[in-house]
Each structure stands twice: as structure tokens, then as C-alpha cells.
Structure 1
């Protein structure tokens, strides 16, 4: 399957600028970068975004993540590899990605658990990064982008 459209800085330079600002905002709020990589990878797995799963896994590996943790992201609940804070962020990522799957899209229990581990600024950054991930996923899946990609 070939891509329907090739996104590039030349095609839509303002989008590239906006994405860079979102990235900076999410990554400057004091959230452990590993947590942001985990929520990105999990949301991308749910949405079936090949380029984002590929880049997310590669980024985690470059950051020194173990294969045990990397391979266990889809089944994080059934493994001992994640901290309580990471689990809370992964749950928030799943619920915020699957908004239409239940009447109360993000139940209070999910939010409250995340709020035990992250302050308001960090929660805002995590939610922003989940939304940004979903943005990327929709662009890539709709236009049939293939993994791997050269993001440069």
C-alpha cells in the first residue's frame, strides 16, 4: 500500500511549526520523557499507526529501554515492568485515545490515579502529548504513511 500524500515541511510549513510548539510545550513541563514515550507508543498501538509505533519503539530503545518493557507496552497491566506513575499515564493514554468506547470517556478513577503521580502542569502536558499523538496517528493512518519514516 503506498502513501496517499507525503507530509513534509515544504508541503505545510505552518503545521511543522505548530507541531514543534506542541512538542516543546509537552516536553517542558517536567514529565519524565519515558512517560511521554510510553503514552505516545500506547496510543499509536491502539490507533494502528505504523510510523508512530515504529518511531516510538525506536526512540524508547535509543533511550535505553529494555526489550522487556518495550515488548510489554500493549499488555502493561499484566507485567511487572512499569512503575505506578507509568501505569497511571498508560491508562490515561488508553482512555483518552478510546473516547467513544464508553459513556464516561475518561472516568474519574483513571484521572484521579494519574493525579496522584503528576501535578496539574504535568497532567496538562501528558494530555497534550496524548492529543498530539492522536493527531499524528490520524494524519498517518488516513494518508497511509509507512514505517519507518525519516522524520528529519
Structure 2
């Protein structure tokens, strides 16, 4: 389904309503509301740690000889660096991408040898994840569409 195509100007509000109802139900149970409130109390601390961990990993990858490229808005060579500095002074989050030298086979070796990160395509999980977009989240796209989306096999 394409919300924009199917419902036009109301796309955003319909998507939010449909997805929120799907994920939480029409109303939270008292216990689920309690759990949500408990988790919200430490959210800022957890996000701060996520950002610190991401920056540490990004620094490692930038200097690694087998890494071709790292995408992270806080890197000085990022096209989003100035915006990140202006609007996100406390950090840009914990999501980054990197390209492994040697193509898809080498990228798969990296993923298969990770010990802390899980090879899963369910973003926004509580786990540390690694995803190979060309064969998972974007696997249904043609080579032309992958290229247009900036998704490479490495």
C-alpha cells in the first residue's frame, strides 16, 4: 500500500493512525501503560549512550583499512554535517552505514562474524542490529532501483 497514492493529502495522519493502532491496539492496558512510562523515565540516558556507542564505532570504522566508506551525519565529510551541527548538537542518533571493501561477499563475512550485533532487518528494535539492505530491506528492488536508492552490495 502507498498511503500517498491511495489516500492523498491525508496520507500521514492515516499512516500514523493505522500503524499506531496496529502496534499498540485501540487502548493500552494499564500494565502496558505502566511499562511504557517506566521505560520513558530512562529514555534520555539510553539515547545518550546509543549516540556515544555509535560515535565510537563510527570512529573505528573510519580508520579501518577494510572499510571503503562510512555514512554518519557527524562526520566532517558528510553532506549533512552542517545541518547536524546546527540542529542536533547533542548527537545524531545511533544509525550509520558503511561500505566494506571487496563487495557483497566481504560484507557478508563481516556480518557473519559479528558477535554483539544481530543480523536482523527489524529496525527500531532494542537490540544492536546489522542489516545488509541489498539482500533484505531492499532485496525486492532491481539493480537500477538499488542504485537510485544508493544501496550497494558492499
**TM-score, normalising length: structure 1:** 0.26
Q: Which has the higher strand share?
A: 2
Structure with more contact order per residue of length (Cα contacts < 8 Å, sep ≥ 6): 1
**TM-score, normalising length: structure 2:** 0.26
Q: Which has the higher helix share?
A: 1
